[in-house]
Amino acid sequence: DRSRAAPVDTTPSATSHEFKTLLNQPLRDARDEFVKHYVKSCYLSNDFNATQAARACGMSRESFHRFLRKYDIRKDDLHNRN
């Protein structure tokens, strides 16, 4: 169900500056940075519940966990920053 889009971080630092930075990278690197930020945002906005975050992102729980591992996104690291 793709009707539930993941929330987007619209803080100034997460919009114009990061977008301009992405534009100065090769497509593969920019895509990886975007996906990392997207997955991290989804994970945070769903209170670190991977099943709910995966659903909000429109992917399987297994795929979501694969992205968490690929981008080394850890609940403890994110939780300590907030």
Across 51-63, b (16+ Cβ under 10 Å) vs e yields ebbbbbbebeeee
3-state helix, strand, coil in the chain (%, to 5): 65, 0, 35
What is the phi/psi pair of residue 6, to 5°?
A: -70, 145
Provide CB contacts within 8 A for 35, sequence distance 6+: 67, 71
Q: What is the pLDDT of residues 32-77, one digit of tens each?
A: 999 999 999 999 999 999 999 999 999 999 999 999 999 999 998 8
Q: What is the pLDDT of residues 15-28, one digit of tens each?
A: 677 778 888 889 99
pLDDT of residue 1 exceeding 80: no
